[in-house]
């Protein structure tokens, strides 16, 4: 085994803390809203840190490492421009603000309010199927990481039998996750994910610093320049030969970030957990800063691993890693395990344990969020609309837990039998597109366009899913099919949007009452709207700072704007220099070195800032959960007049 007793003690202590927190949260689950949406009590820091952790399970880390081992720093360069898109989305409260105004517990509940009950059921079924297929590989990828990183044997003796390690590891993590969700619902998810988020970011920075002592920048440069021509890991203008994860992959991602906002329901519990629409919006803005340490870790570590596997100074380490990989499954599985195996060879005692703790907590956390989400969606958006009588509160909580158990069993079986043959992120793209390919048009149109119709929603969602399912079938039937999962996602988004607009215009009806759905004007809920400033919109208010903004909120906005603006200016200058002449690789290497150190410094500030903000939010959340009066009729059922 690769770990010492000290490493295992670190892992045990971290898991014990999570169990303690889950036990604490159990007493606060007194209603369906508590279980599904943490009673709508979470503040901005709790929301942004926990949601960020929910989105970075062990499978996400492995998938990002796969991608960045191929693309290197080059893909990160194009993402500087996407930062502008993300900033505009977050500071405007794109989709999230209006969705929170609807007070819906799930996206499909909103779809019933906006369109019809039958459409809600159809969308719920489609989202559920898409989510299960997407979620189905999570346990397998996470278990393989644990086995090979720890150096576990592939089989072990038990009662005279030879038991395979793989299903045992999967089952262990799924059972822990199941206990967490059963006990505290979304309250437990948010609190445990927040703790994991702070600990993980600190561990990421420690690992980065250690790896930079193991591999110096000269060794990195000497290794990356050996990459094939037009497949550079450092020069983004020499990447035309990069397979799959190239400029077009990035461009579809940019469009997708705008289009699928709140479409993907893997962590849907966070969408309705904020204590107000304004707090949800501020959580989104903080998310742009929250991700700095995470993205630094996900981009830099694969580049350093590439150097270790390609520089002659590390030939012994590379040979050991390659020998292990040669005995592992197919190319796709080898790709998943390459960087974890490199880290297992270079991390010192204690740090190995801390990183394993991060990956274990990330595995449990992502399983928590996804099992909670997909199990809840099946009950809230598939079963409940068929019922003529609402569930009693205790009965409602019981069926939610049964549904979550069903999700757990399915993903365990799916991970055992599904043959993974593609990159993780390409698999994610095509399976998610079964629902999000058409749902983006439906959600955006429903929240922002009063002329959008129910017929248009049906048409867009059906077309999007048909394109995606066709892509899955073609890729399974035809080896090396030229259109990958990312391209199919792009096609489904474009076709679905066009269909939604055309059908809405052809199928004209009376304009929808947006004020009633969004609780505006005569329908406003006073206690959820705290007016801080009533000065007419001008100056800084044109940047998205409305009547609910305090001085602290404005500081956060300006910080997010400034950080993004700096890197956009860098991108513009870099583009001009590259278009006017050939920039040598040595200059690019110097730039990425400076980029890493700037982001390292920013990461330390962010971790401390968000930790203190989260502690304050936690205290307020506990107070609200102890004192608020529950409305047991608020269970996700849509009351039609």
Residues paired with 158 in a beta bridge: 161
Could you tell me the pLDDT band of residue 91, with boundaries at 50, 70 and 90? low
Provide mean pLDDT across the span 353-379. 84
Residue 425 dihedral angles phi and psi, to the nearest 5°: -70, -25
Is residue 472 a contact partner of residue 431, using CB atoms and an 8 Å limit?
yes
Only one residue has tokens 């009662």, namely 159
**In 3-state terms, what secondary structure has residue 426?**
helix
How far, in Å, CA of 298 to CA of 314, rounded? 21
Helix (H/G/I), strand (E/B), else coil: 620: helix
Q: Which of 19-28, 157-166, 421-430, 572-581 has the lowest mean pLDDT?
A: 421-430
Q: Is the dihedral of CA 556, 557, 562, 568 positive or negative?
A: positive
Fold for domain 5-421+541-627? Answer: Sodium/glucose cotransporter (1.20.1730)
Q: What is the pLDDT of residue 457?
A: 92
pLDDT by residue (tens digit) across 460-480? Answer: 999 988 887 787 777 667 776
| Proportion of the chain above pLDDT 70, given as a percent | 88
Q: Which of 262-266, 444-448, 515-519 has the lowest mean pLDDT?
A: 262-266
567 Cβ contact list (under 8 Å, min separation 6):
80, 83
Q: Taking residues 75-104, report their average pLDDT.
A: 76
List 42's β-bridge partners, or say none.
274
Residue 30, judged by CB atoms within 10 A of its CB (0-12, 13-18, 19+), counts as middle
Confidence class for position 259, pLDDT limits 50, 70, 90: confident
Where do the structural domains in the chain lie, given as residue ranges? 5-421+541-627
H-only helix segments in 103-164? 107-114, 117-135, 138-150
* Per-residue pLDDT tens over the stretch 314-357: 999 999 888 888 877 677 778 888 888 888 888 898 898 998 99
What end-to-end distance do the CA atoms of the chain give, in Å? 64
**Residues 538, 554: Cα–Cα separation, whole Å:** 14
Higher confidence at residue 536 or residue 62?
62
CA 371 to chain centre: 14
Question: What CA–CA distance (Å, rounded) separates 190 from 106?
Answer: 17
When mean pLDDT is compared across 344-348, 529-533, 542-546, 626-630, the lowest value belongs to: 529-533
Question: What share of the chain in percent tops pLDDT 90?
Answer: 15
Reduced DSSP (H G I as helix, E B as strand, rest coil) percent helix, strand, coil of the chain, to 5: 75, 0, 25
Quote the tokens at residue 299: 């981009």
């Amino acid at each position: 085994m690769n770990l010492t007793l000290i490493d295992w003690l670190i892992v045990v202590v971290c898991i014990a803390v999570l169990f303690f927190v889950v036990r604490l949260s159990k007493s606060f689950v007194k209603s369906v809203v508590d279980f599904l949406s943490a009673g709508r009590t979470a503040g901005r820091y709790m929301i942004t840190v926990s949601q960020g952790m929910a989105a970075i399970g062990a499978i996400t880390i492995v998938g990002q490492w796969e991608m960045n081992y191929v693309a290197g720093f080059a893909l990160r360069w194009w993402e500087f421009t996407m930062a502008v898109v993300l900033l505009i989305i977050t500071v405007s409260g794109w989709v999230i603000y209006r969705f929170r105004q609807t007070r819906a517990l799930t996206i499909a509940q909103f779809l019933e309010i906006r369109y019809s009950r039958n459409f809600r059921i159809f969308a719920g079924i489609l989202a559920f199927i898409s989510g299960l297929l997407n979620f189905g590989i999570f346990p397998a990828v996470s278990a393989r990481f644990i086995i090979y990183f720890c150096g576990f044997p592939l089989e072990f003796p038990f009662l005279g039998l030879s038991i395979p390690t793989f299903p045992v590891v999967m089952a262990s993590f799924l059972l822990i996750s199941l206990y967490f969700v059963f006990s505290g619902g979304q309250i437990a998810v948010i609190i445990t994910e927040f703790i994991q988020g702070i600990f993980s970011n600190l561990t990421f920075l420690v690992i980065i610093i250690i790896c930079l002592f193991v591999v110096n920048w000269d060794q990195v440069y000497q290794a990356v320049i050996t990459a094939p021509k037009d497949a550079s890991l450092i020069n983004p203008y020499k990447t035309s030969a990069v397979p799959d994860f190239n400029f077009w992959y990035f461009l579809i991602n940019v469009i997708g970030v705008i289009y699928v906002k709140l479409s993907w329901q893997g962590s849907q519990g966070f969408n309705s957990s904020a204590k107000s629409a304004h707090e949800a919006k501020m959580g989104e803005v903080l998310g742009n800063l929250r991700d700095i340490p995470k993205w630094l870790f996900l981009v830099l570590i694969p580049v350093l691993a590439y150097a270790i596997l390609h520089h002659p100074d590390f030939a012994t380490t590379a040979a050991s890693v390659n020998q292990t990989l040669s005995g592992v499954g197919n190319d796709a599985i080898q790709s998943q395990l390459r960087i974890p195996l490199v880290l297992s060879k270079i991390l010192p005692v204690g740090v190995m344990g801390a990183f394993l703790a991060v990956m274990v907590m990330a595995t449990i956390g992502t399983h928590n969020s996804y099992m909670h989400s997909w199990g809840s969606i099946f009950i809230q958006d598939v079963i409940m609309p068929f019922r003529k009588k609402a569930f009693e509160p205790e009965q409602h909580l019981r069926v939610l837990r049964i549904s979550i158990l069903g999700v757990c069993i399915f993903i365990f079986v799916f991970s055992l039998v599904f043959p993974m043959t593609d990159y993780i992120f390409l698999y994610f793209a095509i399976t998610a597109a079964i629902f999000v390919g058409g749902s983006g048009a439906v959600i955006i149109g429903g929240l922002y366009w009063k002329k959008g119709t129910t017929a248009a929603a049906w048409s867009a969602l059906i077309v999007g899913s048909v394109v995606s399912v066709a892509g899955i079938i073609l890729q399974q039937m035809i080896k090396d099919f030229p259109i990958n999962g990312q391209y199919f996602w792009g096609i489904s988004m474009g076709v679905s949007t066009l269909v939604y607009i055309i059908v809405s215009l052809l199928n004209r009806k009376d304009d929808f009452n947006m004020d009633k759905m969004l609780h505006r004007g005569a329908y406003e809920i006073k206690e959820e709207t705290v007016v801080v400033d009533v000065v007419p919109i001008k100056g800084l208010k044109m940047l998205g700072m409305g009547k609910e903004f305090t001085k602290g909120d404005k500081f956060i906005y300006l910080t997010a704007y400034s950080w993004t603006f700096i890197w956009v200016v860098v991108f513009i200058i870099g583009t001009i220099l590259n278009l006017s002449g050939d920039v040598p690789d040595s200059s690019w290497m110097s730039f990425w070195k400076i980029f890493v150190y700037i982001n390292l410094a920013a990461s330390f500030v962010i971790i401390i800032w968000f930790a203190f903000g989260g502690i304050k939010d936690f205290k307020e959340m506990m107070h609200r959960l102890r004192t608020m009066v529950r409305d047991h009729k608020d269970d996700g059922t849509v009351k039609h007049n």
